[in-house]
């Protein structure tokens, strides 16, 4: 006995076609416009890097100044405390 699997064919089937739509070109501004208007990505990155390094340098100088002040004041305060206790 042979068993056959038969798939009925629908004569009303239609094929759908898709139309390729060209992508709209992305508008890229002229780099000279970026530089003139100050919107250059490179310019922004450089500005952020410079400002970050300046702020880190400023914070470091404040820390060094406070450390120097503590180094000077602590011995003076300790010696004055010892003189008062005598």
DSSP 71-82: HHHHHHHHHHHH
- The Cα 85–Cα 81 span in angstroms is 6
pTM: 0.47
- Yes or no: say if 45 and 38 are a contact pair by the CB < 8 Å rule: no
Q: 41 pLDDT band (50/70/90 cuts)?
A: confident
Highest-confidence range of 2-11, 13-22, 30-39, 56-65, by mean pLDDT?
56-65
- pLDDT given for residue 51 in this prediction: 94
d(CA 26, CA 47): 27
Q: Which two tokens stand for residue 66?
A: 């406070």
């Amino acid at each position: 006995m042979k068993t056959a699997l038969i798939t009925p064919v629908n004569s009303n089937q239609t094929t759908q076609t898709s139309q390729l739509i060209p992508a709209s070109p992305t508008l890229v501004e002229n780099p000279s416009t970026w530089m003139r208007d100050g919107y250059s990505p490179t310019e922004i990155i450089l500005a952020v890097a410079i400002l970050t390094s300046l702020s880190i340098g400023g914070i470091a100088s404040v820390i060094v100044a406070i450390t120097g002040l503590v180094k000077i004041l602590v011995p003076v305060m300790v010696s004055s405390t010892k003189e008062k206790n005598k």
